[in-house]
Chains A and B, each alone.
Chain A
Amino acid sequence: MKMKRCIVGLCLALLLGVSVFAQGGGETRTQDPFPSKSVQFIVPYAAGGGTDSLMRLLAKAMETELGQSFIITNKAGGLGQVGLTELANAKNDGYTIGALSNLDHILVLLTNGNVGYTYDSFEYLGAINTTANVIYANNKNTKFTSVNEMVAYAKQNPGKLTISISGKTHLAEVALLEKAASIDLTPVMQNSGNDSLKAILGGHVDLAVMDKNFVAQVTGQGVTPLAVFSAERIAPVTSLPTFTELGYPIATETYRVIVAPKGTPAEICQKITEIIRIVSGKEDFKSKMQSMSENYRYLDAEQVKNRLDGDLKAMKDLLTAVPNAFN
């Protein structure tokens, strides 16, 4: 009797679980112009983060433009791997799209075993932002005011300088810097940019790699930004030199790419790219992006694919030159 009750309870639980979340199948008539129903927009990062905030803004603008809802679904985990696996396996009818972050995406593909998708599992539709990471130094531990001073010290004291990082992108950037400057740093992995911020503000590490938006946060707190990893100087921190200017050929930037599963009809892909261009080009949208400290930069499908190809090649080259860059 007891056993039976338990089993009944479990079945009830399972049933509820499955039925509540089973997707209601809606029929699409192919002759209707896209989109004729709501679109699911998979964000493979947690709610409230940088990618999420930007994509919510975009989804809302697309909703207003097209009159159909774009429903953001956060599927965080494994540097975007969880959400992207689901997206890659979704129906390629244009009603499931998503976003990814360029270097996270490439590094997952290059360094994780057993990824459920490939570089070619997606149609890359466009991008609307760009940002870059900056290297910071703590003034109490070190007296560095420039990258050259830091490199000179690191050459004399290999492995002594600790550098806070969060995520594989930062690991790649530190590896690129070590290779370009022939130095050896000790990375200290943190859970998030905020943890890195705490470590460098508290002087528990000597250096840190964090987004350019942290420059405003560390101003006047005993932390000096030294240089930016992007190929060109980036607003609003245009006073910071790039590594390329300083003679270290490093150029990495971060941008979020809007993607659809492979095989989504070409005319739908083109339409989405076009809508992204229209809504993101509006002044209101740009000023909202600015208030979120995001730099607006529109890339169409072809441009974004070229950039991603370039990033992929750079990371492959890094792995060839430094096979244990991620271990």
Chain B
Amino acid sequence: MEYLLQAVTSILSPLGLLINLLGVALGIVFGALPGLNGVVGVALLLPITYNMAPEFGLIMLGGLYMGATYGGSISAILLNCPGTGEAACTALNGNPMARQGRAKEALSYSVLSSSLGGMFGVIVMLLFTPMLARLALKFGPPEQFLVSVLGLAVVGSLMGKSLAKGIFSVAFGLILSIVGMDITSVNYRLAFGNIHLQAGLNLIPISVGFFAISEMLDLLCQAPKNELVTNTFSKFRLCDTTVDIFRRWRILLKSSVIGTIIGILPGTGGAIASFIAYGEAKRSSKERNQFGSGAIDGLIAPESANNAAVGGSFVPLLSLGIPGSATSAIIFGALTVHGMIPGPRLFSEHADIVYALMFGLLISVFLMLFLGLSGTRLFTKILKVNPRFIIPAVIAFSIFGAYSARNDIFDIFIAIIFGLIGLIFKRTQIPIAPAVLGMILGSMAEQNLRQSMVIAAAKDINILAYITIRPISIILIALISLLIWGNFKAGLRADD
């Protein structure tokens, strides 16, 4: 209790609030700029926190992580340039809304659902961390493999009109995930003796190329316009949006639960969370026929899920010392530099700092809501800027982002090449999101399947039995069947 009070004092002190606000604001900027994201932002700010009091450093990094996860939706909605996989699904419905002149409405839905999802994840983390951490440990290679299959099953809801093109796109992404070192056999695959390919393809340059650069090249090739969106902004009232979003509480709650659980699982993250939430939303929503052309359910599901994953990803970090996502892995670094060892003893030895991080995240959610709502008017101004200024700016940031992922010039060329491939995809009506999904999930699916095979062989168990005859596996298999059936049924109906 004493620690709690101490933590609350530092969070609510003017400095604590200011640092939190700074973290969230920087996060939104990092998230919104194509190519930059929470991982890059946290990595950049990490050295600064070395010289700060640990609680303030962690509050800033936590705020940045929260803000960046929401920030991606701004560029996804306004420019159709989701910088990362986290916002890829948001663009599918958010951008059509913006083009219909409903940009402010879309942005409000996005910040509201991000905040509600974020709050859900943080509250779950605050209340149930030790219990959920034990649950996370139950997910071994077989369960992790099935989670990635569940993610891949979402492809059915991403592929638009043609089944064949959707499958092609996801297969393309899966092949990309193979490039580089195969960790099971410690051998190189598809590297052609090239040292850069041996290091594997990084997700950031590829998603920047696929989403941002290809979109800008597409704009370049269109007839010159003076504005991105020529439709006039339709009027909307914030209180209507707020009432409406609470009317959709079922989908919000479901997506937040999905996001939190996926966040808790180590090796996953907000991107997988938002894909799965999107797939489930499309399966069950009444608006499923409008998905892809501005469905509000399709916007709030991924946005609440990816922010819910933020809180979730801290669960295994704080209780076991295993980071739940790439960003929390870097925050792990910030803890160790201050001599704190994440794990069960963290709560007993550094309770004040842990509480500062946990409650700081809660404050970050409110700051994010405040910044997001008050920024809506400002953000939408970008739609009235002449594309001739936007295109070079987005391309410049994309290239900067591609480079900063690994400080490698090679990644710039990767981003440009995938910008061109993305343009070809767009022209041939092949959906891009499944390729990114395949790339994110490919190595996770493969590694866990192969680990399962190695373990099953060592223990003389049939591999199928090893994967399927486990309590969590049975639940996951049921979910996978449900998702595949629901989406393909919808697909078949659309073909008639």
Contact = CB atoms under 8 A, between A and B. Distances in A.
Contacts of A199: 140-141
Given A9-B395, A48-B46, A194-B329, A188 B266 contact: no
Nearest to A287: B339
Contacts of B420: 10
Interface residues of A, number: 68
Interface in A214-251: 216-221
B186 A202 contact: no
Interface string B306-344: 000000000010001111000001101100111101111
Given A168-B186, A220-B344, A292-B336, A194 B323 contact: yes
Interface stretch (B212-220, B235-243, B350-358, B370-378): B212-220
A159 B339 CA distance: 39
Contacts of A221: 320, 343-344
Interface string B165-203: 000000000000000010111101000010110111000
Contacts of A263: none
Interface stretch (A73-81, A127-135, A269-277, A307-315): A73-81
Nearest to B40: A47
A34 to B, nearest CB: 24
Interface string A47-84: 11100110010000000000000000111111001100
B198 A195 contact: no
Contact of B342 (A53, A203, A217): A217
A203 B136 CA distance: 12
A126 to B, nearest CB: 22
Contacts of B457: 186
B459 interface: yes
Q: Which of A187, A201, A293 has the most CB of B within 10 A?
A: A201
Question: Is the contact region of chain B dominated by helix, strand, or loop, or is it mixed?
Answer: helix
Given A53-B336, A186-B458, A9 B195 contact: no
B469 interface: no
A197 B342 CA distance: 12
A216 B341 contact: yes
Contacts, number: 178
B333 A53 contact: yes
B132 interface: no
A30 interface: no
A48 B267 contact: no
B454 interface: yes
Contact of B221 (A6, A47, A327): A6
B116 interface: no
A291 interface: yes
Interface stretch (A13-21, A94-102, A252-260): A13-21
Interface in B385-430: 391-392, 395-396, 399-400, 403, 406-409, 412-413, 416, 419-420, 423
A189 interface: yes
A155 interface: no
A21 to B, nearest CB: 6
Given A75-B407, A82-B408, A17 B140 contact: no
A9 B267 CA distance: 37
Most chain B C-beta atoms within 10 Å of own C-beta, residue among A199, A217, A292:
A217
Contact of B330 (A47, A201, A293): A47
A77 B199 contact: yes
B458 A82 contact: no
Interface string B7-25: 0000000000000000000
B416 A13 contact: yes
B342 to A, nearest CB: 7
A81 B193 CA distance: 13
A49 B333 contact: yes
Contacts of B321: 194, 197, 217
A203 B58 CA distance: 31
Contact of B458 (A56, A111, A159, A292): A159
Contact of B141 (A13, A49, A76, A204): A204
B409 A21 contact: yes
A160 B459 contact: yes
B366 interface: no
A65 B130 CA distance: 45
Nearest to B181: A78
Given A82-B196, A162-B458, A48 B183 contact: no
A194 B266 contact: yes
B451 interface: yes
Nearest to A192: B329
A73 B406 CA distance: 9
B7 to A, nearest CB: 21
A74 B406 contact: yes
A320 interface: no
Interface of A: 2, 5-6, 8-10, 12-14, 16-17, 20-21, 47-49, 52-53, 56, 73-78, 81-82, 85, 111-114, 116, 159-162, 168, 171, 186-191, 194-195, 197-199, 201-205, 213, 216-221, 290-293, 326-327
Given A48-B43, A78-B199, A202-B138, 10 more contacts: A5-B220, A12-B395, A17-B409, A82-B195, A160-B459, A188-B451, A194-B321, A203-B140, A219-B345, A291-B339
12 contacts: A6-B220, A6-B423, A9-B216, A48-B330, A77-B199, A78-B195, A81-B199, A186-B455, A189-B184, A189-B186, A201-B322, A202-B137
